[in-house]
Amino acid sequence: MKSLLITGISGFVGGHFTRFIVDKKSDCVIHGLSRSKPAWDFIEDRNHVLDAITFHQCDLLDSKKINEIIGKIQPDYILHLASFSSVSQSWSEPMASFLNNTNAFLNIAESVRIQSLNTKILSVGSSEEYGIVKESDLPLTEKKHVAPANPYAVARVSEEHLAQIYAKGYHLNICCTRSFNHIGPGQSDQFVVSSIAKQFAEIAIHHKKPVIQIGAGSIIRDFIDIEDVIRAYDAILEKGVTGEVYNVCGGRGHSILNIVSALSELTHTPVIVEQNQLLLRPIDNPILIGSYDKLQNTAGWKPDCPIEKSLEKIHTYWVNKLS
């Protein structure tokens, strides 16, 4: 039996990843760690999945408790998902964003180092680490130098640099990702695609005016379905090379206005788009598109889910939730 510890298990990615492991890997003991118990309204067979895990309620900033839990479990794998992952929120709370991301990672890495455990750790980073890039740099490969342009991105770069030190200086078995924008059912409406899909659901169910509020409509992101992300994290935990960083992305760009159009078409709902000044950011990346060649070459992974299918799942999630 192998043991796996998932931090931030109660979140969007945590829920989907746990369901994946419960479904696919009967030889794996799953421990989950989070500030709050999983609610997971987006997991169909939620009770079955909840029964399969041992849950530890803990603040990731509580280094003493983290150390006790990790010492007790001695996990073969740690998937470190716990984070403060909203870019817009990081502008209003830069300090909380930085501390919650970097210090949480440090507590985990230090615990594994001090206890000399033989644990494979996956540290999840972000495409935001690349910062403002030129069109000629696209698609972004992992060789591109990072240049963080918001507080969240700074925290992610710091975490990646720390992970490299723990891998190369202290010989911990750590891999890193630069994960591009995930989308899927269960994601908070703080994130753009979830917010837009929720607004379409509100129009349909509550007969709201057909107006969609967005921030910058022209920015382009490489959106990737949560199921593809989950398979990528599993592949890196199994086959990722120590100290290496992997893009987790779909390899294609979609503007925010594209997303609105696609949902308008999917739901047969003509809408008016309004720019909400409050959703604009002090600095924003015009375009981010990644290359997944490295992860494909290392682990045979590639994305599988087309954006239209993702949008349909997300819209259905919101319709069910709001009905």
| Cα–Cα distances in angstroms (integers) from residue 151 to residues 81, 100, 115, 154, 222, in the given order | 18, 12, 32, 5, 20
Q: Looking at beta carbons only, is 1 or 95 nearer to its own copies?
A: 95
Would you give the binding string for its own copies spanning residues 25-64, x where CB under 8 A is met?
--------------------------------------x-
Per the DSSP assignment, residues forming a β-bridge with 78 are 5, 121
User: Which span (165-173, 227-235, 240-248, 261-269) binds its own copies, by CB under 8 A?
Assistant: 165-173
CB atoms within 10 A of CB 156: 32
Question: Which residues pair with residue 177 across a beta bridge?
Answer: 124, 246
Question: Which of 21/163 has CB closer to its own copies?
Answer: 163
Tell me how crowded residue 179 is: count the other CB atoms within 10 A of its CB: 24
For residues 222 to 241, the per-residue mask of contacts with its own copies, x marking binding by CB under 8 A and - elsewhere, is: --------------------
The residue within the footprint of its own copies, chosen from 5, 162, 176, 214 (CB under 8 A), is 162
Contact string 276-295 vs its own copies (x = CB under 8 A): ------xx------------
DSSP 163-232: HHHHHHTS--EEEEEEE--EE-TT--TTSHHHHHHHHHHHHHHH---SEEEES-SS-EE--EEHHHHHHH
Give the DSSP letter of residue 251.
S
Q: How far is the CB of 132 from its own copies (least distance, A)?
A: 10
Helix (H/G/I), strand (E/B), else coil: 44: coil
Smallest separation, CB 246 to its own copies (Å): 18
Contact call for residue 161 and its own copies (CB under 8 A):
yes
Indicate whether 128 belongs to the interface with its own copies (CB under 8 A): no
**Shortest reach from residue 142's CB to its own copies, in Å:** 14
State which of residues 37, 48, 168, 239 lies at the interface with its own copies (CB under 8 A): 168
Between 157 and 235, whose beta carbon lies closer to its own copies?
157
> Please, what is the Cα angle at 263 between 82 and 278, to 5 degrees?
60
User: What are the CA-CA distances from residue 62 to residues 37, 83, 209, 300 (Å)?
Assistant: 17, 14, 46, 37
Q: Are 125 and 245 contacting, i.e. CB atoms less than 8 angstroms apart?
A: yes
How many Å separate Cα 17 from the centre of its chain?
A: 11
Among 47, 134, 136, 169, binds its own copies (CB under 8 A): 169
Taking the complex as a whole, how short is the minimal distance between the CB of residue 106 and its own copies, in angstroms?
5
Query: Of 106 and 263, which CB lies nearer to its own copies in the complex structure?
Result: 106
Among 151, 185, 186, 303, binds its own copies (CB under 8 A): 151
User: If binding is defined by CB under 8 A, does position 148 make contact with its own copies?
Assistant: yes
Q: Of the candidates 288, 251, 248, which has an alpha carbon nearest to the alpha carbon of residue 147?
A: 288
Restricting to residues 292-321, name those near its own copies by CB under 8 A. Answer: none
Exposed/middle/buried for residue 126 (C-beta within 10 Å: 0-12, 13-18, 19+): buried
- Which stretches of the chain bind its own copies, using CB under 8 A? 63, 91, 94-95, 98-99, 102-103, 106, 110, 145, 148-151, 154, 157-158, 161-162, 165-166, 168-170, 282-283
